[in-house]
């Protein structure tokens, strides 16, 4: 099986402060040369500050457009200049609250790669879709929107995050078995198109990950780390989650 370097990513959503950037950047500076990539996705106004503090940073979304009259949007090229290495695309809050369709998400994915940002493609089903047995169908559709636009090779320079919507911010984490089953489904699905791409792709789990459940999730064979919301805002918890990706806890 391919060796994939784990990633622990903190999505601050619309939270955080200048003080928190200092606190978290100090706390995670020790992971620079470790066998885990730690990435912070702060709100856009804190991007510069976070990049300057030496943290590996990304934006929470980017515009699919080039510069122009798009008030409030984040230009990928500019984010890259300001120090971003990654961007989330298709987070469920963007899909649900801001109406981003899978086609728009695919355009954002393309724009990110065009400008040298690594897209972290977020996918996941709602509670209703899971109850209806549609989890795999939904996740496949969300991923296939990118593959149909850009081809399977585009995934070789990206990261995937499986985040069941019902587990986000609810305290209702998917069990390690539930998460592993979807991660394996994704990897198997991709391996029918390219075994090397499927084996190399880092697939993160997100949804109520905390310092108590991270180890049991991260030790699943197809889970390569986590996309952490609430717990990434607390230095102690986040450090402990990073440690569990290293197998130190
Ligand atoms: O991007 C992060 C996810 O939405 C997970 O958030 P959460 O850890 O607060 O459930």
Q: Is 168 in the pocket of ligand 1 (CB under 6 A)?
A: yes
Tokens matching residue 126: 């709602």
The answer to whether residue 64 is catalytic is no
Mutate to test the pocket of ligand 1, among 13, 58, 87, 168 (most ligand atoms within 8 A of CB): 168
Q: 123-158 pLDDT, tens per residue?
A: 999 999 999 999 999 999 999 999 999 999 999 999
For 79, the domain range is: 60-195+216-228
We report the CATH number of the domain holding residue 124 as 3.20.20.70
Overall number of domains in the chain: 1
Q: Is residue 90 part of a domain?
A: yes
- Assigned token pair, 229: 């919301």
Distance 210 CA to ligand 1 centre (A): 10
Give the model's pLDDT for residue 33.
81
Does residue 167 lie in a domain region? yes
CA angle 149, 196, 204 (to 5 degrees): 75
pLDDT on residue 248: 57
Please identify, by atom number, the ligand 1 atom nearest to the C-alpha of residue 209. 8
In a domain, 74, yes or no: yes
User: Does 17 map to a domain?
Assistant: no
**Are 50 and 78 contacting, i.e. CB atoms less than 8 angstroms apart?**
no
Percent of the chain with pLDDT over 90: 95
Is 200 part of any domain? Answer: no
Using CA atoms of 219, 242, 249, 186 in order, give the dihedral in degrees to the nearest 10.
-10
Residue 34: the pLDDT is 85
The model's pTM is: 0.97
Q: Which of 229, 133, 128 is nearest to 182 (CA)?
A: 133
Reported as a single tens digit per residue, the pLDDT across 173-212 is 899 999 999 999 999 999 999 999 999 999 999 999 999 9
pLDDT higher than 90, residue 3: no
């Amino acid at each position: 099986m391919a060796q994939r370097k784990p990633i622990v990513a903190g999505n601050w959503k619309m939270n955080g402060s200048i003080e928190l950037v200092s606190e978290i950047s100090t706390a995670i500076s020790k992971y620079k040369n470790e066998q885990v990539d730690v990435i912070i996705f702060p709100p856009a106004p804190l991007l510069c500050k976070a990049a300057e503090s030496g943290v590996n940073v990304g934006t929470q979304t980017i515009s699919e457009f080039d510069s122009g009259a798009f008030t409030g949007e984040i230009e990928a090229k500019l984010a890259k200049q300001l120090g971003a290495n990654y961007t989330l695309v298709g987070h469920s809050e963007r899909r649900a609250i801001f109406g981003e369709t899978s086609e728009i998400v695919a355009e954002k994915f393309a724009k990110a790669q065009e400008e040298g940002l690594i897209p972290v493609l977020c996918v996941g089903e709602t509670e209703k879709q899971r109850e209806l047995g549609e989890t795999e169908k939904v996740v496949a559709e969300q991923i296939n929107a990118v593959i149909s636009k850009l081809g399977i090779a585009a995934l070789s320079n990206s990261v995937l995050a499986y985040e069941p919507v019902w587990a986000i911010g609810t305290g209702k984490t998917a069990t390690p078995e539930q998460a592993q089953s979807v991660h394996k489904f994704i990897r198997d699905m991709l391996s029918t198109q390219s075994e090397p791409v499927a084996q190399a792709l880092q697939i993160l789990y997100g949804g109520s990950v905390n310092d108590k459940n991270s180890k049991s999730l991260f030790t699943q064979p197809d889970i390569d780390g986590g996309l952490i919301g609430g717990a990434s805002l607390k230095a102690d918890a986040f450090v402990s989650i990073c440690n569990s990706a290293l197998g130190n806890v």
